[in-house]
Amino acid sequence: MAESSRVEALRTALPQRRKTASLWADALYRLSRNKAAILGGVLVILLTLTAIFAKYIAPYPYDVQDRPNANSVPSWMLAVFPMMKSYAVVSDKFLLGADYVGRDMLSRLIYGTQISLSVAYVGPIIALLVGTIYGLVSGYFSRWVDNIMMRFVDLMYAFPSLLLIILMMAFFRSTFAQSEPGTFAYAMNKIDERFGGMLFIFIGIGLTAWMGTARLARGQVLSIREQDFVMAARAVGASHLRIIFRHIMPNILGPLVITVTLAIPGYITTEAFLSFIGLGVNPPTPSWGSMISDGSQAIRTYPPQAILPALALSITMFAFNFLGDGLRDALDPRLRGTQ
């Protein structure tokens, strides 16, 4: 029987229901509606582009020293920090001033995105990948699997990473420095140089960063494991793999993404700390961490030298966090189909 015209009229009048989409498409849609997240995403993309095209954007090279103009400040900065008037060299040559050997701060900040973003991407990616899977497995398969895996995490937490980093640095910089082209060691050394001597620091950070994510994931899994929908999935006969990745993981991603984005300044601070104690980047490669560490020594005399990279870091953090928040909101299955 043909539908009555009334029903037909209703159907055309009511808004079309969205087609049922996969979790990820749905998430993407919801993400696009979140203004703060868009802003964050745009900033992240801008920063990444800055890092990639630093050579073309930066007004000066990052290593040219203008020694007579060391520590110089542009005139507008004097208005912000009047206390520097009595001793600061004023020069409008550099937009954001110069560092202690006369290198342009702005250029160094731009080039610094390369190292700092690398740190920000590599560390958390390793942490997220390794940590999430590890925590999922550990929390799901309880009892002695969980026990052993968590004891290993305890071990890694207490691991003398500083020792390991020094050892790796010593090894790489002495042995690998004399290796023949074409060998693995030589390739590693070249990559290391490209990163300003930080390759193994990334490795070190990655090695020591996944445990937090693992414990977090595991804690979440323990909580979710007992919920009804998991029992239901099991009753239906879903395999362990399916349960873990299809059912449990989307539910734990929220706090995980947050922690990981929150941890980014931690990585950069670790890199700053390593510079502080003398194990950081090779000069003259700039990184925000080492710039903050350098600048903090002069913070009472030339505040901009520490404040500027800290500001750059804050902006990056805002970007990653809003994006991260948006991601979490978008990936929350409970909001699926709404909004």
Q: Per CB under 8 A, which of residues 37..76 are in contact with another protein? A: 63, 65, 67-68, 70-71
Our CB check for another protein shows the closer of 242 and 336 to be: 336
To the nearest whole angstrom, how small is the minimum distance from the Cβ of residue 22 to another protein?
Answer: 21
Angle 69-59-102 from CA coordinates, rounded to 5°: 20
| 108 near another protein, judged by CB under 8 A | no
Half-sphere exposure of 60 (CA within 13 A, CB side): 19
Please identify, among the stretches 7-15, 50-58, 238-246, 302-310, the one whose residues bind another protein according to the rule CB under 8 A. Answer: 302-310
Please identify, among the stretches 14-22, 114-122, 182-190, 329-337, the one whose residues bind another protein according to the rule CB under 8 A. Answer: 329-337
Helix-then-strand count for the chain, H and E: 15, 0
| 292 near another protein, judged by CB under 8 A | yes
| 283 near another protein, judged by CB under 8 A | yes
CA 86 vs. chain centroid, Å, equals 40
Residues 324 and 51: their CA atoms lie apart, in Å, by 20
Residues 269 and 58: their CA atoms lie apart, in Å, by 24
Task: With beta carbons less than 8 A apart as the criterion, state whether 58 and 110 touch.
Answer: yes
Q: Applying CB under 8 A, which of residues 143, 235, 236, 241 lies at the interface with another protein?
A: 143
DSSP labels for 4-62?
PHHHHHHHHHSPPPPPP--HHHHHHHHHHH-HHHHHHHHHHHHHHHHHHTHHHH-SS-T
| 88 near another protein, judged by CB under 8 A | yes
Helix (H, G, I), strand (E, B) or coil at 243: helix
Q: Per CB under 8 A, which of residues 155..174 are in contact with another protein? A: 155, 157-160, 162-164, 166-167, 169-170, 173-174
Half-sphere exposure of 42 (CA within 13 A, CB side): 7
Please identify, among the stretches 11-19, 21-29, 44-52, 309-317, the one whose residues bind another protein according to the rule CB under 8 A. Answer: 309-317
| 243 near another protein, judged by CB under 8 A | no
Please identify, among the stretches 5-13, 49-57, 72-80, 275-283, the one whose residues bind another protein according to the rule CB under 8 A. Answer: 275-283
Q: Per CB under 8 A, which of residues 196..225 are in contact with another protein? A: 197, 211-212, 215-216, 219-220, 222-223
